[in-house]
Amino acid sequence: MARRLESCAKASIKRLDQSGTVAFTLSLFQHTAFSRLKEIFNTPHYVERRVDQSVVEIVIARITAAIRETGCIETYSAELVDVLDSCLNHPMTVLNSDGELVDSPHCKIASDLLSSLFLVGVIRI
């Protein structure tokens, strides 16, 4: 178990984003990042702030990809579930500019987290 946690701490993956190659290292990641994400998406105007939504999506994608690649879900599961729970306190649908009911940004976060949690479970089985 100690070796597995050590490998989680040292794990890194590379992802491309709009600005080029970005390295995301779990050893640099702090569990407090989840609290910061919740602060961002719990603001009253999050649904209207595209930049905030992009930041949250990118960070969650990198964190969940790193967790999936290293198999250290146990280390972060409590925080992942806490973020998911916080998302579920928000509406999962919103009206777009055309008056159509669409998935909310909070629904996107919840969907990404659930997909990640289940994907890790399937890979490990």
* DSSP type of residue 43: S
Average pLDDT for residues 90-104, to the nearest whole number?
Answer: 95
The mean per-residue pLDDT over the stretch 10-35 comes to: 51
Q: State the DSSP code for 32.
A: H
Question: What are the sequence ranges of the domains in the chain?
Answer: 29-124
pTM over 0.85: no
pLDDT of residue 58 exceeding 70:
yes
Question: For residue 21, what are its two tokens?
Answer: 């190659």
Q: Which of 13-17, 28-32, 39-43, 76-80 has the highest mean pLDDT?
A: 39-43
Distance of alpha carbon 41 from alpha carbon 62, whole angstroms = 17
**Chain centroid to CA 17:** 16
pLDDT bucket at 16, cuts 50 / 70 / 90: very low
d(CA 32, CA 34): 5
Per cent of the chain over pLDDT 70 is: 70
Q: Are 102 and 94 in contact (CB under 8 A)?
A: yes
What the block records as the tokens of 66 is 């790193």
43 Cβ contact list (under 8 Å, min separation 6)? 49, 52
Higher-confidence residue of 19 and 59: namely 59
What pLDDT score was predicted for residue 122?
55
CA torsion, ordered 98, 99, 101, 106, to nearest 10 deg: 80
Considering only CA atoms, which of 95, 112, 113 is closest in space to residue 104?
A: 95
| Residue 6 scores a pLDDT above 50 | no
